[in-house]
Amino acid sequence: MDQYDRLRPLGRGAFGVVHLGRCRQTRRLVVLKSIPMPEEDTKQALNEVQVLRLLSHPNIIEYVSSHVQEQSLVIVMEYAPGGTLRDYLLSLQQQTMEEEQVMHFFSQMLIAVQHIHSLNILHRDLKSENILLDRERQVIKIGDFGISKILATKTSASSVVGTPCYLSPELCEGRPYNRKSDVWALGCLLYEMATLRRTFEAATLAALVLKILRGSYAPLPAQLSAGLRQLVTALLSLDQTRRPSVTQAIAHPAVAPFACRLFSDIGMIPWHASTRPLSMSVSQTLAGGRAGPLGAVWAARRPSSPALPPPPPPQDDTLWVLTAELTLRQLPAPPPGVGRRLAAAARGSVTAVCVTSGGQAAVWWLADAGPPLTVERPGGVSFVQAASGGATVALLTQRGIVLTAEAAPAAGTLSAPRIVQSLLGHEVSQVSCGADHTLVLTAAGAVFAWGGNADGQLGSGGRRPATTPHPLPLPSDTVAFRVRAAAGCSLVVTADGRVFGCGLNAAGRLGSGEPGGRPGERRLRAVQLPAPEPVTDVVACASRTALLTAGGALVWLGGQPGAAPARSPLPAAVTAVSGTESAVLVLCADGSLHAVSETSPRQPVRLELPGAGEPRLGDGGLLLLSQ
């Protein structure tokens, strides 16, 4: 490895840390991927090398060499300076891609995956973060084969791996799968490029799996061609036997013209189309021909059509907060430089915070109606999620790094975000803030907590606060997938639908405990659920906890110690909940919006949506309306 200089970190792959490097002899920029190699992980690490050595294709990241260094396997690979497809889509700021460019990218993906499948290899983690671009952003290259599988039997593989948003139905059900799982992921990628949004998204893993199993995704825009829409439908068939193979997808009428042009367009000699009118004797073949992936049409000049009026500018997303009177109050728009599309939002007792699709963040003071502050982005990081507690604002980056900032309401200032150093060894997937403590959930399903502990909300067994994160102990058979920090308590929802809680058990909101709300639960324990149906999300109010079940019911615990659970009568299945200390905002499958006070859980109040647009819920009783 002496022949390479490490320049800067680029991020993390499926199993390793990635750096940008330079060859000292050739000055070529390369990617250095370091994979830790404890003895038990050696086989997994060597799998990537085995896969990369088999692959040689212009649309697949090139394997250069591999070396063992300090108990790590270092793989040297081609560097793609155009960044990831995901970053490119986010940079478009909802302006959409031209359909021709979508199909130009997608045909390259299909041809690359066809080559992979021809070698009896599954990629198993196709996603926009693993699709890389060249400097001109015209050539795509598939990377990160960290969890690829060589099909020794040439039939199927059964271990469940991959990114949740792109998992196929058979993986969600634990059934064996084959190449058609990669085909499903390709369908998700095509949808994502055409709409600039994930095909399947949900607030919880259980809700996401339910959407995937039902094939429930928003319809494609009507302005897209019928061929593209039909192709997406075919690729996302719930029955894997009905999905086309990659070869069949390349032959689809929506793809074939672009796939054929790739062989002459990629790497062709630069040229310029003539600006002179062509002779009217030009052949019909030439008149119908094309050149260039987004290129000029060689045809006889015809009178130009009247120019169409420009489309109206896109409207800003709006952010609304649930008040104590069960009404909605609009917050001022984020500063112009932050972005108009809101990706996530959360509210605490002092501030509200939002993250935009461009990875920036803004903070509002709830005590006044003034404009929000733009949050600094150290090193230009991209934020993907945020949480707000008392004076603390927590931000999660695209790389799974947590930063916190402190609000000073009297001065109207927010400190510069600082990285939580002790969590750098963990890839964090979710963050949640209570009044004075913070919880984070890692991609591995572990939970960490820090902050105030007067009511035992850190689960440490005592009341001593913690200034740095420490693990929140979970039973050995438990994997967490959702955390909720509330005033004086912590709640954890597990992957199998159980709920664990610790801290202030006011009025029996944790299902049992001492009367009067004293902290009878200083360690995490199972919350006794009223029914065997799995829970997908929870909201803790001051004296009750609302449970969202996998079947879409809203069930309440507490109100007073020993009280029977209460169920809120709602017109349709509940798809999302978001709560304050006194009420819960509820979004139903029929698009209706309701507010349910913890004092009257059986009397939901229907709220009129304050404008046209797609409703989504943030944390802390926030409504986001996407125009």
Higher pLDDT, 533 or 189: 189
Query: Is 455 an active-site residue?
Result: no
Contact 619, 343 (CB under 8 A): no
Q: What is the pLDDT of residue 18?
A: 82
**How many other C-beta atoms lie within 10 A of the C-beta of residue 552?**
17
pLDDT digits over 125-143, tens only?
A: 889 988 999 888 889 999 8
Residue 16: per-residue pLDDT: 63
Per-residue pLDDT, 570: 95
User: What average pLDDT does the chain have?
Assistant: 81
C-alpha 481/C-alpha 479 separation (Å) is 7
Task: Give the model's pLDDT for residue 150.
Answer: 37
Evaluate if residue 604 carries a pLDDT over 90. yes
Question: Do residues 538 and 549 lie in contact, with contact meaning Cβ atoms separated by under 8 Å?
Answer: no
Is there a contact between 182 and 173 (Cβ–Cβ < 8 Å)? no
Q: What is the pLDDT of residue 13?
A: 55
For 516-562, the pLDDT digits (tens) are 344 456 888 999 887 677 888 999 999 999 999 888 899 999 988 77
Domain boundaries defined on the chain: 4-78, 85-153+163-264
Distinct helix (H) and strand (E) counts, the chain: 10, 38
Residues 6+ apart with CB under 8 A from 380: none
Helical axes 180-195 vs 226-235, angle rounded to 10°? 140
Q: What is the pLDDT of residue 12?
A: 66
CA 608 to CA 583: how far, in whole Å? 17
| pLDDT tens digits along 24-38 | 888 889 888 877 766
Number of neighbours of residue 91 by Cβ within 10 angstroms: 13
Q: What is the mean pLDDT of residues 490-516?
A: 81
Rounded to whole angstroms, how far apart are CA atoms 363 and 3? 47
| Residue-wise pLDDT tens digits, 43-81 | 555 555 666 667 788 899 888 887 777 777 788 888 988
| 128 vs 115: CA distance, rounded Å | 19
Give the pLDDT confidence score for residue 501 in this predicted structure. 93
Q: Using one digit for the tens of pLDDT, what is the confidence trace for 437-451?
A: 999 998 778 899 999
Check residue 308 and give its pLDDT: 46
Comparing 516 with 249, which gets the higher pLDDT? 249
Find the catalytic residue in 2, 125, 317, 537: 125
Q: Residue 574 in contact with residue 614, Cβ under 8 Å? A: no
- Scored b (16 or more CB within 10 A) or e, 499-526 reads bbbbbbbbbbbbbebeeebebbbbebbe
At residue 54, what are phi and psi to the nearest 5 degrees?
A: -80, -15
Between CA 536 and CA 495 the distance in angstroms is 8
Q: What percent of the chain has pLDDT over 90?
A: 38
Instruction: Measure the CA–CA gap between 332 and 486, rounded to whole angstroms.
Output: 25
At 263 the pLDDT is 62
Separation CA 494–CA 501 (nearest Å): 11
Binding residues for ATP: 33
Place of tokens 């030009």: 282
Question: Which has the closest alpha carbon to 75: 102, 94, 48?
Answer: 48
Helix (H) or strand (E) holding 211: helix 205-214
Checking if the pLDDT of 566 tops 50, the result is: yes
pLDDT of 175 > 90? The answer is no
Per the model's pLDDT, the better-predicted residue between 386 and 272 turns out to be 386
H or E element in which residue 371 lies: none
CATH fourth-level superfamily of 85-153+163-264: Transferase(Phosphotransferase) domain 1 (1.10.510.10)
**Residue 565, pLDDT above cutoff 70:** yes
pLDDT band at 272 (very low <50, low <70, confident <90, very high): very low
The answer to whether residues 383 and 361 touch, using CB atoms and an 8 Å cutoff, is yes
- pLDDT for 301: 34
In the chain, the amino acid numbered 245 is S
How many whole angstroms separate alpha carbon 217 and alpha carbon 237? 12
Cβ neighbours around 310 below 10 Å, total: 6
Q: Which residue has the higher pLDDT, 342 or 415?
A: 415
Confidence band of 40 (pLDDT split at 50, 70, 90): low
Percent of the chain with pLDDT over 70: 82
pLDDT of residue 48: 54
Distance CA 191, CA 231 (A): 10
Q: Is the pLDDT of residue 341 over 90?
A: no
* Cα distance between the two ends of the chain: 52
pLDDT at 286: 32
pLDDT at 277 over 50: no
The pLDDT tens digits of the residues spanning 323-332 come to 999 999 999 9
- Whether the full predicted model's pTM is greater than 0.85, yes or no, is no
Fold of 4-78: Phosphorylase Kinase; domain 1 (3.30.200)
**Adjacent-strand bridge partners of 75:** 33, 66
DSSP tag of 461: S
> Could you please report the per-residue DSSP string of 63-108?
EEEEEEETTEEEEEEE--TT-BHHHHHHHTTT----HHHHHHHHHH
Spatial separation of the C-alpha atoms in residues 160 and 228, rounded to whole Å: 29
Residue ranges of the binding site: 33
